[in-house]
Amino acid sequence: MSKVLLMGQSNVGKSVLFNRLAGARATVSNYPGTTVDFDKGRMRIEGQDVEIVDIPGSFSLEPKDRAEEVAVKMLEETKGATVVCVIDSSKVERGLYLALEIIEKRHSVIIALNMADVAKDANINVDAERLEEILGVPVVPMVATRGEGLKELVSRIREAVPVEIEGIIKNVGGKSGTSSHS
């Protein structure tokens, strides 16, 4: 059975999304670090059973605490999985850092730009289409607590592919790091 991992920083709504997708009842709170262990659930994508895993929030792939260790270990153990990177639309920078790390590890990634409502309230505008062009992976704006964008996310999970980090660097017109050890 193929696997979908929900990853992202803490308190970006992974567990809310998990509950929505898997019809599960993971504990959800408004403070970072509510999920300290992983939860598994099931969902159907295009007629196929898929295992979906809610993973503790992690700032980066270098673990700082036990919950982050759980997250990193989970990612390493499931090489072929699709990773849904959940990003808080009002804090895109931080979410992108982790997303890039996961992309560099050659996982199939799809980005869920969650909390679109919060970003809008804060007058932050995120251009999802441009982000998709740059990264080369699907980017879906959503509000998981209200279920907005959920259908699009599910229908595009299959489009998640591994991409080259070099390609992303080229897309923003940079040469950052390309010169080193080649």
Partner 1 sequence: MWEVKVERALTADERWDLVDKITKEVVKVGAYKPGLRDALASLTVNPWTGIPFAIAVLYGFWTFFGEFAGLFTDGFFVRIFGTHWIPWLSGALEGLPDWLFTILVGDRAVFAEDFVGDPCFAAGGVLTTGLFMPFAVVLWAVIALFLVLAILEDTGYLPRLAVLVDTVLHKIGLHGFAIVPTLVSLGCNVPGVTATRLLETRKQRFMMIALLGVFVPCGAQIGMMEELIPGLIGWVFLTLAIGYLGFGWVLNKIWPGESPEILMDVPPYRAPQWSNILRKTWSRTRHFLMVAVPFVLLGCAIVMVLYATGAMDTIASGLEGFLAAVFGVPADATASLVVGFLRKDLAIGLLPIDAMTNYQVFISVILLTIYFPCLATFAMLLRELNWKEILATLGFLIVTIFVFGGILHLIGLAGGWY
Binding site for partner 1 (CB under 8 A): 9-11, 25, 27-34, 36-37, 56, 64-67, 92-93, 96-97, 100-101, 104-106, 118, 122-127, 130-131, 134-135, 145, 165-166, 168-169, 172-174, 176-177
User: What's the DSSP call for residue 174?
Assistant: -
Count of C-beta atoms within a 10 Å radius of residue 38:
18
Q: Which is nearer to partner 1, 97 or 158 (CB)?
A: 97
β-partners of residue 53 are 5, 40
Q: Which is nearer to partner 1, 122 or 161 (CB)?
A: 122
| Phi, psi dihedrals of residue 29, rounded to the nearest 5° | -140, 170
Query: Least separation, in Å, of the C-beta of 159 and partner 1?
Result: 19
Tokens for 49? 């059973």
Q: Which is nearer to partner 1, 130 or 151 (CB)?
A: 130
Query: Least separation, in Å, of the C-beta of 45 and partner 1?
Result: 25
Count of C-beta atoms within a 10 Å radius of residue 116:
23
